[in-house]
């Protein structure tokens, strides 16, 4: 199907820059101005076209006013010879008015809307989102997810509108003001001087008031983000809110944030009211500074009636522009505040990055070698303290210890969710810090105690394990995880059933056991050579756990396995059990040997109640 010339024109403009072009995942400048300049680099050609179009539109607007004054002077000569003398000129002017002016304005609008706005908004959001995805897990654990998302989205909005304002408002207004001074100077320099004084005064007033309003807007943006974070936090944890009957506490938590937001918004509105009074004063001054001298010059024969009419029209046009320019300036500084706030999260250096020249991990057997591994989270204590550990290819190792022993820290460093403060972890002789993060995590399948799911279909969640998997492979993995039967019974609020049913945010529409079985199926489908099970069956009831024990055994065949469990019965059959306490390995050996030693593991085994490891057992 052939596209129309109009569509081809807009597609050409939109294609002048690509918001999703390959771009280094680098931390952007922390200063708002530098960030703006960095984001504008792909728009060089668009900016040139927008500049030319803006100047053309400004000159046409001013030319229209000037020609209206000329018509007044021509009419003063009388109607007798008006059409005979000036008919051709008027027809040319009409053609320019009806044809060239609309085309110029349409082109200017197309450049700003389609060339700048259409691409700037997704470009800023896309780059910020890619950068956020490169942050370590701890980055997201230290902030509200809602606030982070809000900053990414709002920074895109602010950047797009700032670029739009720069060309649609400031550039055109500046061109109009300069051209006005030139035209008035051509009439009489005594008209241009008071207009120049007025322009300087207005610009000074604008750039004195607007930054203050911008700071107010920035404070309001901070308060608004805080409210968004608190509200999203309540919604995300609604089950906990209901369970502890703390709806009123959450209301108070949100209300305190909204009250602060109201104060910030009220201060901003008071500033806007002050701005309106100042605008009224400047608008009145513009008329007096232009109309007064124009009438005086006319009475002295220095100006024609048409020139007076043109000067008055220019003053009136400036009156209509002042409010617009002031609002655009305030919006600009407000956007700069929003951008600065967004950069607090976006312009954060990545703490875990691929080294230059990092290569993909090549897993030949899955052997893990740990030497001198120390990580205290920058506190000088806690975490891990000089861990040395060897896990042979295909060996199944249980990791045991009381809470805070360092089990999860060890796994997080293996996955490079953090970089170790000292020491090394090698997989098949390759330092995990020297390989690409994606290849490292592709080689490790992990099931956690609280496996969250994406708010997508069951099929999409399973395909996260292996995007290219066939439908038959998906179903087989679900069956092995004892998930297929209950998946077929699922139906979401939009009538989607079975594998097409959506599971809700973090999988909240499913029970804990159902989420865990889908997570198991996802890892089965991934079929990674290294398997990490962190309390993988803790959310399952005894009957389901017994049913999938055989599946777990099959999953572990031929893989290097690290299994963390408080329920010691689930790891007693591992090849080895490593016992940790206070960040160190204190016992290492098979289940029977550790029991014979009569050490901590033996005491834990003897003291656990109901199969779970209690904190007091570490005493």
Least confident of 97-106, 313-322, 467-476, 520-529: 313-322
pLDDT at 614: 45
Mean pLDDT of 365-391: 88
Percent residues over pLDDT 90 in the chain: 27
CA distance 498 to 492: 9
Higher-confidence position of 136 and 540 = 136
Q: Indicate the DSSP class of residue 114.
A: I
Residues 6+ apart with CB under 8 A from 400: 407, 564, 565, 568, 571, 577, 578, 579, 580, 601, 604, 613
Residue 137 CB neighbour total at 10 angstroms:
12
Give the per-residue pLDDT at 9. Answer: 85
> What is the C-alpha separation between 490 and 499, in angstroms, rounded?
8
Average pLDDT of the residues in 306-313: 85
Superfamily of domain 366-443+530-619: P-loop containing nucleotide triphosphate hydrolases (3.40.50.300)
What pLDDT, on the 0 to 100 scale, is given for residue 286? 79
* pLDDT at site 616: 43
Contact indicator for 297, 190 with CB cutoff of 8 Å: yes
Distant-in-sequence, close-in-space partners of 17: CB < 8 Å, separation ≥ 6: 42, 43, 45, 46, 115, 119, 123
The SS3 assignment for 450 reads: coil
- Of the candidate CATH numbers 1.25.40.420, 1.10.10.10, 3.20.20.70, 1.20.1560.10, the domain formed by 21-346 belongs to 1.20.1560.10
Structure tokens at 328: 């655009």
Tell me if domain 21-346 and domain 366-443+530-619 are identical in fold.
Answer: no
User: Which of 436-445, 460-469, 599-608 has the lowest average pLDDT?
Assistant: 599-608
CA distances from 590 to 17, 189, 347, 387, 392 (A): 62, 99, 49, 19, 14
Q: Map tokens 């305190």 to a residue.
A: 256
pLDDT in tens, 434-461: 999 999 999 999 888 777 788 889 999 9
| Mean pLDDT of all residues in 155-159 | 91
Mean pLDDT of the region 11-31 = 86
pLDDT band, residue 615 (cuts 50/70/90) = very low
For residue 609, what pLDDT is reported?
A: 45
pTM of full prediction above 0.95: no
Report the pLDDT value the prediction gives residue 1, as an integer from 0 to 100.
44
In the predicted model, what is the mean pLDDT of residues 51-62? Answer: 87
**pLDDT grade for 415, boundaries at 50, 70 and 90:** very high
- Alpha-carbon gap, residue 581 to 571, rounded angstroms: 18
CB under 8 Å, gap of 24 or more: what pairs does 171-175 form? 171/50, 171/51, 171/54, 171/55, 172/54, 172/55, 172/57, 172/58, 173/58, 173/321, 173/325, 175/54, 175/55, 175/58, 175/59
SS3 433: helix
Going along 452-544, which residue ranges are E strands? 530-534
Query: What single-letter DSSP state applies at residue 2?
Result: P
Q: Give the total residue count for the chain.
A: 619
Phi, psi of 385 (to 5 degrees): -140, 90
Q: What is the mean pLDDT of residues 287-301?
A: 85
Contact call for residues 6 and 107 (beta carbons, < 8 A):
no
Mean pLDDT within 392-402: 92
Place of tokens 């179903």: 475
Q: If you average pLDDT over residues 38-62, what whole number do you get?
A: 89
**pLDDT reported for residue 123:** 93
Q: Residue 608 has what pLDDT?
A: 65
pLDDT score of 134: 85
Residue 548 has what pLDDT?
67
Q: In DSSP terms, which residues pair with 562 in a beta bridge?
A: 397, 532
Residue 507's pLDDT is: 66
Q: Among 473, 475, 472, 504, which Cα is nearest to 487's?
A: 475
How high does pLDDT run on average in the chain? 85
Q: How many CB atoms lie within 10 A of CB 216?
A: 23
Return the pLDDT at 612. 46
**258-280: buried (b, 16+ CB within 10 Å) or exposed (e) per residue?**
bebbeebbebbeebeeebeebbe
Ordered by start, the domain boundaries in the chain are 21-346, 366-443+530-619, 456-527
pLDDT given for residue 253 in this prediction? 87
Query: What pLDDT does 188 receive?
Result: 86
- Examine the pLDDT at 226 and tell me if it is beyond 80: yes
Percent pLDDT > 70 in the chain is 95
Sign of CA dihedral 350, 352, 357, 363: negative
Read off the pLDDT band of 232 (50, 70, 90).
confident
> pLDDT confidence of 426, banded at 50, 70, 90?
very high
Q: Which numeric CATH code is attached to 456-527?
A: 3.40.50.300
pLDDT digits (tens, 9 = 90+) for 556-581: 888 999 998 877 877 888 999 999 99
Residues 6+ positions from 149 with CB-CB distance below 8 Å = none
Give a three-class secondary structure readout of 557-595: CCCEEEEECCCHHHCCCCCEEEEEECCEEEEEECHHHHH
């Amino acid at each position: 199907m052939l596209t129309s010339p109009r569509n081809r024109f807009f597609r050409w403009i939109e294609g002048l820059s690509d918001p999703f072009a390959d771009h280094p995942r680098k931390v952007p400048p922390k200063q708002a101005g530098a960030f703006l300049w960095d984001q504008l680099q792909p728009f060089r050609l668009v900016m040139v076209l927008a500049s030319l179009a803006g100047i053309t539109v400004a000159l046409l607007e001013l030319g229209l006013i000037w020609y209206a004054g000329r018509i007044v002077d021509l009419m003063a000569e009388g109607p007798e010879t008006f059409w005979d003398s000036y008919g051709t000129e008027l027809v040319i002017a009409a053609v320019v008015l009806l044809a060239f002016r609309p085309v110029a304005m349409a082109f200017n609008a197309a450049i700003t809307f389609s060339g700048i706005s259409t691409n700037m908004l997704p470009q800023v959001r896309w780059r910020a989102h890619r950068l956020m995805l490169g942050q370590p897990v701890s980055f997201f654990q230290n902030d509200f997810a809602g606030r982070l998302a809000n900053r990414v989205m709002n920074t895109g909005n602010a950047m797009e509108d700032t670029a739009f304002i720069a060309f649609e408002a400031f550039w055109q207004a500046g061109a109009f003001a300069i051209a006005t001074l030139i035209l008035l100077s051509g009439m009489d320099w005594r008209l241009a001087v008071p207009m120049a004084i007025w322009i300087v005064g207005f610009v000074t007033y604008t750039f004195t008031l607007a930054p203050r309003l911008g700071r107010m807007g920035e404070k309001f943006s901070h308060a608004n983000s805080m409210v968004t974070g608190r509200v999203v936090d309540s919604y995300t944890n609604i089950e906990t809110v209901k369970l502890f009957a703390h709806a009123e506490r959450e209301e108070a938590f949100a209300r305190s944030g909204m009250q602060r937001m109201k104060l910030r918004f009220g201060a901003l509105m008071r500033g806007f009211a002050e701005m309106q009074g100042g605008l009224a004063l400047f608008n009145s001054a513009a008329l007096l500074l232009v109309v007064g001298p124009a009438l005086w010059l006319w009475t002295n024969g220095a100006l024609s009636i048409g020139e007076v009419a043109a000067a008055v029209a220019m003053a009136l046009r400036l009156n209509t522009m002042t409010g617009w320019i002031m609002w655009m300036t305030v919006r600009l500084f407000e956007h700069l505040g929003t951008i600065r706030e967004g950069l607090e999260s976006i312009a954060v250096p990545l703490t875990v990055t691929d080294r230059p020249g990092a290569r993909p991990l090549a897993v030949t057997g899955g052997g893990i070698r740990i030497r001198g591994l120390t990580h205290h989270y920058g506190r000088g204590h806690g975490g891990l303290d000089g861990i040395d550990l060897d896990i042979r290819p295909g060996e199944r190792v249980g990791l045991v210890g009381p809470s805070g022993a360092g089990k999860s820290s060890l796994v997080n460093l293996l996955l490079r969710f953090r970089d170790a403060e000292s020491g090394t972890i090698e997989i098949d002789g390759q330092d995990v810090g020297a390989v690409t993060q994606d290849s490292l995590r592709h080689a490790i399948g992990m099931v956690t105690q609280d496996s969250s799911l994406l708010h997508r279909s069951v099929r999409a969640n399973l395909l996260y394990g292996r995007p290219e998997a066939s439908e038959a492979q998906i179903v087989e993995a679900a069956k092995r995880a004892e998930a297929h039967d209950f998946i077929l019974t699922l139906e979401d609020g939009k009538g989607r059933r079975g594998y097409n049913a959506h599971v809700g945010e973090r999988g909240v529409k499913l029970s804990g056991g159902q989420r865990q079985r889908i997570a198991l199926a996802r890892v089965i489908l991934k079929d990674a050579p290294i398997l990490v099970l962190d309390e993988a069956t803790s959310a399952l009831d005894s009957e389901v756990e017994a049913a999938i024990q055989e599946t777990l055994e099959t999953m572990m065949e031929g893989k290097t396995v690290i299994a963390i469990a408080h329920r010691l019965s689930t790891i007693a059959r591992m090849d080895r059990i490593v016992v940790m306490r206070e960040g160190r390995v204190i016992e290492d050996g098979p289940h029977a040997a550790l029991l014979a030693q009569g050490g901590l593991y033996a005491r834990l085994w003897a003291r656990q109640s109901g199969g779970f490891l209690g904190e007091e057992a570490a005493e």
